[in-house]
Structures are given as structure tokens and as C-alpha cells.
Amino acid sequence: MSVEHLIYCHPVVVILLCKLFNFFVSSGHIPASFAASYTVSIPKTNSHCRQLTLDDFRGISIRPIISKLCELAILQRFSSLFETSDSQFLFKRNLSCSHVIYNVRNVIENYTSHGSTVNEHDLSKAFDQIYHYAIMLS
């Protein structure tokens, strides 16, 4: 089933899905198959000039659209009850990669202003789609 099936389905399907999701919430049980997914590796770059390594791939999770819709409905309805760490920036409303970059720069500037050195080699994993040296530019 694809997103198009849900977009163009008969309105009764939406009502049935709503009843199903409400039943999941009231019973406190979501089927284990809703958590099932498989990971597909896709290349991060279009480079055909060199041999690709494991670092050149990103894993994406493939799940059934109904389970994604259920997750979205639960998140929209109960998001105010969920707590997350203040250190988490991505996948949160009104926060983005730029907030992370701002905080990383502040931490690095704080350490270097006190005479310490900072090793930023792990940033390439967190920011694999940006120009890494741009993080440090003023």
C-alpha cells in the first residue's frame, strides 16, 4: 500500500483507521508488526569515480504506511506528554540542523577560548550532507 492509496481512498477508510488507532491507544497495545521495518542502504553521493566504502551509504528504514500513519497520529495527539532531552535537536518541532551547528560552534569556541583543543572528526557522521568546514566559519 502506498501513500496514494490513503490519499485517494474512500472516506470510510479514514474512519476505520481512526477507530483502529483509537482502539490501539485505549487497549495500550500496538501490533508488533507495526514496529517491523527493514533497512535499505542508499549511496550518499553520486560519485562513480571511486570505489565506495560503507561510510558512503546511508541506511533508510522502510515501514508499512499504515504504521507510519499510526505513529504520526499518536505523536500529534500525545506529543505534549512526551519528554525529550534538551540535547536532542533533530526531529523536534521548530528545531533544525542550524540549531545544532550553532550549539556545536558555541561549545568549540568555549573550549578553545580556555586554551583547550577540540577534535571534530565525529561531526562528519552527524552532518554528512554539509560542508564541514562551513560549521567553523564566522
- Indicate yes or no: pTM above 0.95: no
Q: Are 60 and 42 in contact (CB under 8 A)?
A: yes
Q: What angle do CA 66, 20, 7 make, to 5 degrees?
A: 40
pLDDT, residue 90, reads: 64
pLDDT digits (tens, 9 = 90+) for 41-66: 888 776 666 777 777 787 888 888 88
Between residues 133 and 40, which one has the greater pLDDT? Answer: 40
pLDDT digits (tens, 9 = 90+) for 78-111: 877 877 777 776 667 777 777 777 877 888 888 8
The domain locations on the chain are 84-138
- Give mean pLDDT, residues 113-130: 64
Average pLDDT, the chain: 78
End-to-end CA distance of the chain: 47
Rounded to an integer, what distance in angstroms lies between the CA atom of residue 12 and that of residue 30? 22
Give 127's DSSP letter.
T
